Amino acid sequence: MRIATGIQKLDEAMGGGLPERASILLVGVPGAGKTTFCNQFIYEGLKNGEGAIHITLNASPEEIINSMKSFGWDVNGKPLKFIDAYSWQMGVEEGKEVVNPANLTNFTIAVTKALTEMRNQNVKRVVMDSLSTMFLFVPKDLCLRFISMLSARLKGAGMTILIAVEEGMHTPDVVTALNSLTDGTINFIMENDIRLLKINRMRETRNLPITLKFKISESGIEVMP
């Protein structure tokens, strides 16, 4: 079984989509398209009656919902669970369920709680946007250990997890560790006016490397001929 991203030509190139039970890094500079890819992936699942979990460190759930709406992805009433590690950075609001990104014990508890809450929702997709923000709050060894645990836990529960990472923000040892802890990497490249999506490593996937030219239109990421 493969997990369709909702980007048709990418799914065709990967034999139906991403591998099941996999953790995948999305690497690119700011504006390269990582967040759009995450949200499109989530919506593809919701559209097909799956539940999904969004771990956010860069934007509030409200901002994400609005941004998705602007692409025509209406999540209203759909089983989308947020783990909000962003709002804490803004100052905790009364009555809001927020996670302190510096407190990995609480973070782990929030993940466990989300999994329990969503256990009957057929969840196959989780995104974390972005892991780089966690590195601002937590020493790198702890961050890497957390990702290793999180990815094992979610894969064990049958999920495919996308982890967005800012290119250029991490030292080479961290990049190497992240690659060794995950099952694949999708690179988002911007060269002059051209956007490219490049896959060099992906578990259980033939025909690598895959390089596709894409644009971000009003309906999201679209691969160009």
Ligand X SMILES: Nc1ncnc2c1ncn2[C@@H]1O[C@H](COP(=O)(O)OP(=O)(O)OP(=O)(O)O)[C@@H](O)[C@H]1O
Toward ligand X, which CB reaches closer, 20 or 167? Answer: 167
- Cβ at position 156, least distance to ligand X in Å: 28
Per CB under 6 A, 146 contacts ligand X: no
Per CB under 6 A, 218 contacts ligand X: yes
Question: Which member of 35, 39, 133, 187 binds Mg ion (CB under 5 A)?
Answer: 35
**44 phi and psi, to 5 degrees?**
-55, -40
Per CB under 6 A, 34 contacts ligand X: yes
**81 phi and psi, to 5 degrees?**
-105, 125
- Cβ at position 7, least distance to ligand X in Å: 13
Question: Which member of 166, 177, 205, 214 binds ligand X (CB under 6 A)?
Answer: 166
User: Which parts of the chain fold into alpha helices (H)?
Assistant: 8-13, 34-47, 61-70, 104-117, 131-134, 140-156, 172-181
Token representation of residue 128:
């974390």
CA 186 to CA 171: how far, in whole Å? 19
Per CB under 5 A, 132 contacts Mg ion: no
The CA–CA distances, whole Å, from 188 to 19, 101, 165, 214 equal 19, 25, 10, 10
- Cβ at position 116, least distance to Mg ion in Å: 28
The site for ligand X (CB under 6 A) is made up of: 28, 30-36, 58, 67, 70-71, 166, 216, 218
The site for Mg ion (CB under 5 A) is made up of: 35
